[in-house]
A and B are shown apart, each in its own frame.
Chain A
Amino acid sequence: MSEDRIRLEFAVSGDNFASAGTASEEVKSTLKKLGIPSADIRRVAIAMYEGEINMVIHAGGGVATADIYLDRIEIVLADKGKGIPDVELAMTPGWSTAPENIRALGFGAGMGLPNMKKYTDEFSIESEVGVGTTVRMTIFFG
């Protein structure tokens, strides 16, 4: 028997910081309507926004998918960007390859991936240089 599920899918635009956050906002408001605890919604929204921003800064956009089940949300962020040569290094708090113009906007602190890991219950990255990156995150409710 298949589980009850709501699927939300978003194309994340690659060149627009102002519109980044659309996916996380939409997921946030859906979870709110479903009565999910606000502390969990906060974790989901932040992890997803960080992922969106990463796709805008580093990958020229991508696709964000959120599958909401009764007890959890599964988020997949997939891009066809340049990939991450050393994932372990990229996970180091403070490590950043964001250019100066991005830092001027307040991004590029090197805390995006660490935040995503911190706020999720399950977190994984698959990345291949020249092919793209897929981040998978699961957050359990309650």
Chain B
Amino acid sequence: MTVSQLADILDAKIAVLADGEREVTAGYCGDFLSNVMGKAPADSAWFTVMSNVNVCAVATLTDCAAVVLCESTEPDAALTERAGQNDVNLLITSLPVFEAAVKVAGHLG
């Protein structure tokens, strides 16, 4: 599944689309950044409600394919700006974390 397909599946609003063709091969749900860094596989879709600028650093360091902000969480302006600079795909869905993950899970290889 590509990031663009991920956005379609979640009916997501796109905050930053750096590479819509990037493959998503895994997923991780969590808001504590160290948990994400400890456990999220590379090329994950990361489902979270955390919206500050540090999300971008964590997404970059873990080689996350896309950040999915759930429950219509709007990113801080600094997050959107940093994600744009660092080529981090940033999507916003109205779905809660669990429902978003369930919806995507069946599409992962």
Q: A residues near B, CB below 8 A?
A: 17-18, 20-21, 24-25, 28, 38-39, 42, 45-46, 49-50, 105-112, 114-115, 118
In the complex with contacts A17-B54, A18-B78, A42-B42, A107-B61 CB distance below 8 A: no
| Inter-chain CB contacts under 8 Å: number | 63
Query: Which B residues are CB-close (under 8 A) to A107?
Result: 32-34, 54
B37 interfacial contact with A, CB 8 Å: yes
The majority secondary structure among interface residues of chain A is helix
B109 interfacial contact with A, CB 8 Å: no
Rounded to whole Å, the gap between the CB of B29 and the closest CB of chain A is 13
Q: B residues near A, CB below 8 A?
A: 31-35, 37-38, 42, 50, 52-55, 57-58, 60-63, 78
B62 to A46, Cβ gap below 8 A?
yes
Task: Please name 9 pairs of A and B residues whose Cβ atoms are closer than 8 Å in the assembled complex, sorted by A.
Answer: A38-B42, A42-B61, A46-B37, A49-B37, A106-B31, A107-B33, A107-B34, A109-B33, A110-B34
In the complex with contacts A18-B53, A106-B50, A45-B35 CB distance below 8 A: no
Closest to B86 in A: A25
Rounded to whole Å, the gap between the CB of B101 and the closest CB of chain A is 18
* A17, A105, A108, A115: the one within 8 Å of B37 (CB): A115
Query: Which A residues are CB-close (under 8 A) to B55?
Result: 106
Closest to A39 in B: B42
A24 to B38, Cβ gap below 8 A?
no
B32 to A109, Cβ gap below 8 A?
yes
Query: Which B residues are CB-close (under 8 A) to A45?
Result: 61
B32 to A106, Cβ gap below 8 A?
yes
A118 to B38, Cβ gap below 8 A?
yes
A21 to B33, Cβ gap below 8 A?
no
Query: Which A residues are CB-close (under 8 A) to B42?
Result: 38-39, 42
Indicate the member of B33, B52, B53, B60 with the most A CB atoms within 10 Å: B33
B52 to A105, Cβ gap below 8 A?
yes
Rounded to whole Å, the gap between the CB of A53 and the closest CB of chain B is 8
Rounded to whole Å, the gap between the CB of A139 and the closest CB of chain B is 14
Query: Which A residues are CB-close (under 8 A) to B31?
Result: 106
